[in-house]
Structure 1
């Protein structure tokens, strides 16, 4: 957001932005811990000649969690892949309508993913599913990242939709591209 729109943005949009930033920090921490665990695993196998039990599975779950929990932060930064050729050719009003339509469609799609992610998490919780490895982690723990990540992503999308609709956002087509923060 530009300084003017950032200052004028409603508190709810700013709060959601802070939550999304926190998600980015958590995602980065998960990646960092994954790297440390991978190094520890390599040391155990290569240097000490020992086998590992939980490391590979933990790293996989952490990377998936980092990806899903990082979604709202990437959305906040407008870092998801997008095509700007068509919007760039449209007049301001049509660009805004297109942005609102795309955000709305994305919210519906993420809502479906959230629903099925919650269902998967809930089944794992209710039936006490465990992984079929030696570690035997309760699967509701890593599965929780799916509905949580998509819920927070949807929250950021709703904030973006509201910000675009009310003119409090960089994605507002009335803001010149050179005035946008990249």
Structure 2
């Protein structure tokens, strides 16, 4: 009876790398979901309480505008990595759509690595900005919230997005298929044809 062939060392190390990167992807997704979910629930609750307070008691939540702005800043920058993971980020694909095979994959890898470098560069500058706000002791006008706390979402969001672009590049370097993100293959959904124009 023939013995099954043992997997090669390169195949084993490649699958180990993908499992490790998959774990990184899941952890960052969990962090993003917690931040985004909490922000959305907080913002929805804040607005509901504010409107009810104004309608029933003639007085809304103090600092509602500041809290809304802070929540939107947090959601915007925390959503960067989530959008990249789901391949829902803006992409100018007119040129890459004309390519196929290895040239298309090479271009996707180049764009992912270039964008990752840009995200880490922006994270560095955003971190400097947050530190300068912290050192100056700036606070919001109504509630006196230290502004470095909500603005910390900017460098964190840029880092999470950069990690996702690196994961996309590595996935394309280690897989036969082409991927738009670590988990999303590069394929288009068929446009439904219902016969009506």
TM-score, with normalisation over the residues of structure 1? 0.82
Matched, 1:105 2:107: no
Contact 1:100 1:161 in 2 (8 A): yes
C-alpha spacing 1:71/1:178, structure 2 compared with 1 (3 Å): closer
For structure 1, list consecutive stretches of 5 or more residues without a partner in the other structure: 1-7
RMSD of aligned C-alpha atoms? 2.4
C-alpha spacing 1:170/1:41, structure 2 compared with 1 (3 Å): farther
- Answer 1 or 2: which has greater helix percent: 1
Contact 2:130 2:151 in 1 (8 A): yes
Contact 1:26 1:66 in 2 (8 A): yes
For structure 2, list consecutive stretches of 5 or more residues without a partner in the other structure: 1-14, 190-197
Q: CA deviation at 1:170?
A: 4.9
Match of 2:52 in 1: 43
Matched, 1:158 2:162: no
Structure with higher RCO (Cα < 8 A, 6+ apart): 1
Correspondence list, 1:1-182, <5 A: 8=15, 10-22=18-30, 23-131=32-140, 133-167=141-175, 170-171=178-179, 177=187
TM-score, with normalisation over the residues of structure 2? 0.76
| Residue-by-residue CA offset, 1:80-130 (whole Å, 9 max, x unaligned) | 122444333213110011101111221122122111110111112222211
Contact 1:16 1:156 in 2 (8 A): no
- Structure 1 or 2, whichever has the larger Rg, is 2
Equivalent pairs, count: 170
Q: CA deviation at 1:56?
A: 1.9
